[in-house]
């Protein structure tokens, strides 16, 4: 039979009251027994015995009499009561002889240490700090009732995590010098799982629709991954707030919810939740008004109002309007602006008059910005990311941008910004910026598998914040069946004070044809590069640089004639100086699993010395959120390369298509021209690729964007030379198309993508591959 949580709370309260009553009774009995009756006398002296740690002044301060005053039974009883009340003593006696009052005390033991065994859910330090807040910790006086309260507090922490089977057993060990050590032995048990969630009182929306909003669910086929069926008080409170917001966003201004009824099974393994709500009726907005001190900015503020008369009231739009107005005023220096929306209800007509009351408060400027917590990172590395200057008007937008820029650095696990008024200067504030550093060095040893590359071994050493200077140093080694690479790179994001970045690199690469290629060859590249990036806005950057490469092609008996022709014209070893430039703009909300924003890149490479060619490239990605759960993604890729000498375009600079990343359903790098003799896939100097992808949440993951499934349509083709002067121009009628479904997972090894695709217009000779997967791919 399920037992109510309210029953457990009542039992805990009853236990605490019983303990308090017993302590009070003991105190009342101890007082009269501690002071024997005597004839009143004038005190000649007061002595204290039994002290070890307590200062004499502490005891004298509690005594109701002084030397020279008359001492009576009542005063003796009061003295004993006061000394017991300090909680410092386990025994107090008062003795008298020859006009001398002797106070004999026995001090309580102090807590020397706290330890925990069997605790995995919480960090011991965090739990120690939590107990200290209730007055129980090392250096504090030991008291049995406080120990029981500490055990109760520990249980409450585990109850909040849904671990109702947790058991706490304490052991008190006496130590020298009247001290004790306390150990809490914890049996955590399993998290109680949610077996049932009921909603009572809903009329406008079905129970399934409402439960679909919740992060908590009953057990499902992906619960092992999401833990959505594990109960915790915090998760329940978040879901209740989500439910409330859902109704307010749809105009239900009188929505109310009773406290949730949470019951637990007798074995403490299953949770049953019942939610009782009163929806009320939806309200329409008849008018939207602005009131208060608008600073003469009525027109500007009106443009920020998202709520319109005649619409159903929306809590989301109302809150967004209040925030937009507050942020707008904050950008003008009004750091303490307050905007309060107030809907006045007409219950008879189910309408509401909405008024935004605006109080800009006073305008302030920033006196100074104080940075704390950067033990390793240099102060200048932090300050160069700040967009809010000192001795300037307060700007909330610039402060938020500063915090976001510091977050994106990756040096800190937490960035907090606080505003503190300057004493006696009502028009000034100080900005307190507190950062918590995290390790920025990383050693990576990995093993992966690609359907084409086979086993992939990787090793890398990366330090994002070398000696706290804000520069990056990286060494990466990768090897697979067909490709090997080693790259050493150093990036200084602030090579100049204006934010111009500089990257220097040395690299070594070898490439052999994939297993589905019948011809054999090997391309080896040794090079170094130098590039600079110039920010032109918060999201835009232009870059340019130069690479010096030495390329060697090794031929075999079965090498493709296209590569033999290249060696005949260029030789087996060439040197190239490649100039590159480009522009990029990135407004995506995440580089790994974006849901909104765009990414644009234009680039150009110009080869000189032995290799005279140019390659132009463009890419555009767009992510459009559809509601809260879905994302529609577009990707377009275009490359165009050509030789500007009498020789053909360098064949090993070709681009490829086919497989994950371009056109799924076709084998990796299998599209485009093929060698006329061996049939080897050659790639091409021109490429056109387009993708449309629709992301959906995985059932049971509750909108976890690290695990999503998707449907897609791909199209693409590669055009170029076959090595015999037959250069194929771009012909969109030769495009290949495919469609299918896939899975995207940000795994511990990197982004993992699985796809099941069907080629829509395959031609004879095309190499098809229905199922494909890869770790470390993007779109």
* Domain boundary residue, one of 151, 169, 187: 187
Confidence of residue 133 (pLDDT cuts 50, 70, 90): confident
pLDDT score of 724: 60
Is residue 372 one of the residues assigned to a domain? Answer: no
Asked if 527 and 449 sit in the same domain, the reply is: yes
- Of the chain, the end-to-end C-alpha distance in Å amounts to 52
Helices (H), 167-252: 207-211, 223-226, 233-248
Name the token pair of 360: 């800009």
pLDDT score of 163: 85
Distance of alpha carbon 499 from alpha carbon 491, whole angstroms? 12
Three-state DSSP class for residue 534: strand
Distance of alpha carbon 671 from alpha carbon 641, whole angstroms? 17
Which helix (H) or strand (E) segment holds residue 615: the answer is strand 613-626
pLDDT score of 481: 59
Asked if 92 and 214 sit in the same domain, the reply is: no
Name the token pair of 347: 């219950």
More confident call, 438 vs 509: 509
Confidence of residue 449 (pLDDT cuts 50, 70, 90): very low
Distance of alpha carbon 101 from alpha carbon 71, whole angstroms? 9
- Give the CA distances from residue 468 to residues 26, 435, 444, 499, in Å, rounded to whole numbers and listed in that order: 61, 14, 21, 17
Name the token pair of 661: 């990343």
- Closest Cα to residue 702, out of 127, 215, 352? 215
Name the token pair of 156: 């409450």
Neighbouring C-beta atoms of residue 527, cutoff 10 Å: 17
Asked if 11 and 94 sit in the same domain, the reply is: yes
More confident call, 61 vs 338: 338
- Give the CA distances from residue 722 to residues 517, 551, 683, 719, in Å, rounded to whole numbers and listed in that order: 15, 21, 9, 9
Name the token pair of 356: 């935004």
Asked if 97 and 117 sit in the same domain, the reply is: no
Q: 57 — phi, psi (to 5°)? A: -60, -30
Asked if 291 and 217 sit in the same domain, the reply is: no
Name the token pair of 725: 């002067």
User: Is there a contact between 654 and 685 (Cβ–Cβ < 8 Å)?
Assistant: yes
Confidence of residue 17 (pLDDT cuts 50, 70, 90): very low
Asked if 660 and 642 sit in the same domain, the reply is: yes
- Give every strand in the sheet of 351-359, ordered side by side: 284-292, 351-359, 338-346
Distance of alpha carbon 561 from alpha carbon 648, whole angstroms? 14
User: Is there a contact between 241 and 247 (Cβ–Cβ < 8 Å)?
Assistant: no
Confidence of residue 519 (pLDDT cuts 50, 70, 90): low
Count of residues making up the chain: 779
| Domain CATH code at residue 637 | 2.40.160.50
Is residue 330 one of the residues assigned to a domain? Answer: yes
Distance of alpha carbon 112 from alpha carbon 172, whole angstroms? 11
Q: What is the pTM of this model?
A: 0.63
CA 442 to chain centre: 19
Q: In the beta sheet, which residues pair with residue 737?
A: 715
In tens, the pLDDT along 625-681 reads: 987 778 999 999 999 999 999 888 998 899 999 988 899 999 888 898 888 777 788
Is residue 376 one of the residues assigned to a domain? Answer: no
Confidence of residue 457 (pLDDT cuts 50, 70, 90): low
User: Is there a contact between 579 and 606 (Cβ–Cβ < 8 Å)?
Assistant: yes
Confidence of residue 22 (pLDDT cuts 50, 70, 90): very low
Sign of the CA dihedral 80, 81, 84, 87? negative
Distance of alpha carbon 611 from alpha carbon 709, whole angstroms? 44
Distance of alpha carbon 231 from alpha carbon 233, whole angstroms? 7
Asked if 430 and 452 sit in the same domain, the reply is: no
Asked if 616 and 714 sit in the same domain, the reply is: yes
- Closest Cα to residue 397, out of 331, 467, 495? 331
User: Is there a contact between 16 and 145 (Cβ–Cβ < 8 Å)?
Assistant: no
Q: How many domains does the chain have?
A: 6
For the CA atoms of 397, 403, 408, 411, what is the dihedral angle to 10 degrees?
A: 170
Is residue 663 one of the residues assigned to a domain? Answer: yes
Confidence of residue 8 (pLDDT cuts 50, 70, 90): very low
* Domain boundary residue, one of 51, 83, 107: 107
Asked if 346 and 398 sit in the same domain, the reply is: no
R_g (Cα) of the chain, nearest Å: 37
Pick the range with the lowest mean pLDDT from 30-34, 445-449, 551-555. 30-34
Number of alpha carbons in the 13 Å side-chain half-sphere of residue 9: 8
- Closest Cα to residue 54, out of 31, 83, 26, 33? 83
Percent of the chain with pLDDT over 90: 48
Is residue 555 one of the residues assigned to a domain? Answer: yes
Confidence of residue 701 (pLDDT cuts 50, 70, 90): low
Confidence of residue 749 (pLDDT cuts 50, 70, 90): low
Distance of alpha carbon 124 from alpha carbon 133, whole angstroms? 14
Q: What average pLDDT does range 542-555 have in this prediction?
A: 95
Is residue 377 one of the residues assigned to a domain? Answer: no
Asked if 522 and 623 sit in the same domain, the reply is: yes
Name the token pair of 622: 């767009």
Is residue 370 one of the residues assigned to a domain? Answer: no
- Classify the phi-psi angles of 55: left when phi > 0, otherwise alpha if psi is within -120 to 50, otherwise beta: beta
Asked if 146 and 262 sit in the same domain, the reply is: no
Pick the range with the lowest mean pLDDT from 76-90, 375-389, 423-437, 473-487. 473-487
* Domain boundary residue, one of 435, 454, 474: 435
Which structural domain, as residue segments, surrounds residue 173?
A: 110-187
pLDDT score of 713: 97
Beta-strand pair 351-359/365-372? unpaired
| Domain CATH code at residue 179 | 3.10.20.310
In tens, the pLDDT along 210-255 reads: 998 898 888 877 777 677 888 888 889 999 999 999 999 999 999 9
pLDDT, mean over the chain? 85
Sign of the CA dihedral 108, 112, 114, 115? negative
User: Is there a contact between 774 and 754 (Cβ–Cβ < 8 Å)?
Assistant: no
Three-state DSSP class for residue 343: strand
- Give the CA distances from residue 494 to residues 252, 350, 585, in Å, rounded to whole numbers and listed in that order: 52, 59, 19
- Closest Cα to residue 414, out of 427, 403, 429, 402? 403
Distance of alpha carbon 196 from alpha carbon 185, whole angstroms? 32
- Classify the phi-psi angles of 442: left when phi > 0, otherwise alpha if psi is within -120 to 50, otherwise beta: beta
Sign of the CA dihedral 595, 735, 678, 555? negative
Is residue 720 one of the residues assigned to a domain? Answer: yes
Distance of alpha carbon 637 from alpha carbon 617, whole angstroms? 8
Name the token pair of 590: 């995440």
Residue with tokens 């909330």: 396
Distance of alpha carbon 26 from alpha carbon 18, whole angstroms? 12
Asked if 764 and 681 sit in the same domain, the reply is: yes
């Amino acid at each position: 039979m399920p037992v109510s949580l309210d029953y457990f709370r009542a039992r805990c309260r009853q236990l605490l009251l019983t303990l308090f009553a017993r302590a009070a009774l003991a105190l009342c009995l101890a007082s009269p027994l501690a002071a024997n009756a005597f004839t009143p006398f004038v005190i000649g002296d007061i002595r204290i015995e039994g002290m070890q740690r307590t200062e004499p002044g502490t005891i004298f301060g509690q005594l109701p009499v002084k030397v020279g005053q008359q001492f009576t039974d009542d005063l003796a009883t009061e003295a004993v009561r006061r000394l017991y009340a300090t909680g410092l003593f386990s025994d107090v006696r008062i003795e008298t002889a020859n006009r001398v009052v002797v106070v004999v005390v026995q001090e309580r033991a102090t807590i020397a240490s706290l330890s925990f065994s069997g605790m995995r859910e919480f960090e011991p330090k965090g739990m120690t700090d939590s107990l200290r807040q209730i007055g129980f910790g090392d250096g504090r006086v030991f008291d049995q009732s406080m120990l029981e309260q500490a055990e109760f507090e520990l249980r409450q922490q585990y109850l909040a995590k849904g671990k109702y089977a947790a058991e706490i057993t304490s052991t008190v060990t006496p130590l020298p010098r009247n001290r004790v050590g306390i150990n809490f032995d914890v049996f955590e048990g399993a998290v109680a799982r949610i077996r049932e969630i009921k909603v009572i009182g809903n009329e406008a929306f079905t129970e399934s629709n409402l439960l679909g909003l919740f992060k908590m669910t009953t057990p499902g086929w992906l619960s092992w991954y999401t833990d959505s069926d594990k109960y915790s008080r915090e998760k329940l409170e978040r879901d209740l707030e989500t439910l409330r917001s859902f109704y307010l966003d749809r105009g239900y201004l009188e929505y109310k919810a009773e406290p949730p009824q949470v019951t637990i099974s007798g074995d403490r393994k299953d949770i049953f939740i019942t939610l009782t709500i009163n929806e009320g009726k939806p309200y329409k907005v008849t008018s939207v008004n602005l009131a208060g001190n608008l600073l003469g900015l009525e027109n500007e503020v009106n443009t920020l109002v998202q709520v319109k008369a005649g619409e159903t009231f929306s809590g989301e739009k109302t809150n967004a309007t209040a925030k937009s107005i507050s942020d707008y005023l904050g950008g003008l220096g009004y750091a303490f602006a307050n905007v309060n929306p107030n809907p006045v209800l007409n219950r008879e007509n189910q309408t509401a008059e909405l008024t935004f009351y605006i109080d800009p408060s006073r305008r302030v400027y920033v006196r100074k910005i104080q940075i704390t917590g950067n033990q390793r990172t240099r102060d200048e590395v932090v300050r160069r990311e700040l967009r809010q200057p000192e001795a300037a008007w307060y700007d909330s937008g610039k402060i938020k941008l500063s915090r976001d820029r510091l977050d994106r650095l990756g040096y800190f696990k937490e960035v907090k910004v606080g505003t503190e008024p300057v004493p006696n200067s009502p028009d000034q504030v100080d900005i307190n910026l507190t950062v918590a550093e995290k390790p920025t060095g990383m050693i990576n040893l990995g093993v992966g598998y690609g359907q084409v590359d086979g086993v992939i071994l990787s090793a890398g050493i990366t330090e994002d914040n070398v000696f706290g200077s804000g520069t990056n140093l990286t060494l990466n080694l990768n090897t697979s069946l067909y490709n090997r690479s080693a790259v050493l790179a150093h990036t200084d994001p602030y090579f100049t004070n204006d934010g111009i970045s500089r990257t220097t690199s040395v690299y070594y690469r070898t490439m052999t044809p994939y297993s589905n290629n019948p011809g054999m060859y090997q391309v080896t590249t040794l090079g170094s590069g130098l590039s600079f990036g110039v920010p032109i806005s918060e999201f835009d950057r232009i870059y340019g640089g130069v690479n010096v490469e030495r390329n060697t092609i090794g031929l075999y008996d079965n090498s493709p004639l296209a590569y033999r022709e290249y060696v005949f014209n260029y030789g087996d070893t060439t040197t190239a100086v490649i100039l590159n430039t480009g522009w990029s703009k990135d407004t995506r909300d995440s580089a790994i699993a974006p849901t909104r924003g765009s990414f644009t890149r234009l680039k150009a490479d110009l080869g000189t010395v032995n290799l005279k060619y140019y390659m132009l490239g463009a890419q555009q990605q767009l992510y459009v959120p559809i509601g809260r759960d879905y994302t529609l993604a577009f990707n377009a890729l275009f490359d165009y390369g050509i030789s500007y000498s009498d020789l053909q375009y360098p064949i090993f600079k070709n681009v490829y298509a086919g497989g994950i990343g371009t056109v799924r359903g076709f084998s990796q790098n299998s599209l485009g021209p093929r060698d006329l003799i061996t049939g080897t896939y050659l790639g091409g100097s021109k490429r056109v690729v387009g993708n449309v992808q629709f992301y959906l949440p995985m059932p049971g993951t509750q909108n976890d964007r690290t695990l999503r499934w998707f449907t897609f349509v791909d199209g693409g083709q590669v055009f170029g030379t076959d090595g015999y002067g037959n250069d194929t121009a771009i012909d969109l009628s030769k495009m290949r198309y495919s469609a299918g479904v896939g899975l995207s997972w940000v795994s511990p090894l990197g982004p993992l993508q699985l796809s099941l695709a069907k080629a829509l217009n395959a031609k004879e000779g095309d190499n098809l591959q229905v199922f494909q997967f890869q770790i470390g791919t993007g779109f």
